[in-house]
Amino acid sequence: GPERRLPAGQEEVPIHGIWPEDADRHAAWAGARLPTADEWEKAVRGLDGRRWPWGDHWRPGRVVTAEVGLERPLPIRAFGCHGDSLLYSAVGGVFETTSSAWRDREDRGRVVMGGCFTHPRRAADPGLRLSHRLSGHLKCGLRLAWDAE
């Protein structure tokens, strides 16, 4: 098919609007996988288990949530890495789909984590697990994981 390109200036903005099945296919194509919810949380909290990627206290201006009032997520490197987590934009921006199943009779979805530019600060809590169906797939993206060799 025709070559597709992202609009200028959007190359570093998280891709979102991804269904879990599409995230799985993309990860397999890249020779990777989606992290489990536990792996995602550990990576975000760092080796010392801090509450937020940058420390134990909320710091406005470190994350894009609904309170910021933007209509789209910022580029992933907008705030840099925090501490030893080595992840860019781990909270806020877009929800990140994990490989963990959401266990509920009514909802057989996937766990998403990290909050989103359309959701309040409390959704960005690294320990909060939500269903991709409840959060809205249009706000869900992915982060890839590889097993150590």
Q: Of the segments 1-15, 28-42, 44-58, which one has the largest average pLDDT value?
A: 28-42
Residue 40's identity, in one-letter code, is W
Among 48, 52, 18, which residue's Cα sits nearest to residue 128?
A: 52
Arithmetic mean of pLDDT, 21-26 = 93
What number does CATH give the domain 20-142?
Answer: 3.90.1580.10
Query: What's the CA gap between 149 and 137, in Å, rounded?
Result: 32
Q: What is the pTM of this model?
A: 0.86
pLDDT of residue 22: 92
Whether 16 contacts 73, CB under 8 Å:
yes
Query: How does residue 1 score in pLDDT terms, banded at 50, 70 and 90?
Result: very low
Domain ranges in the chain are 20-142
State the residue for tokens 């987590």.
85
- Cα separation, 148 vs 21, whole angstroms: 24
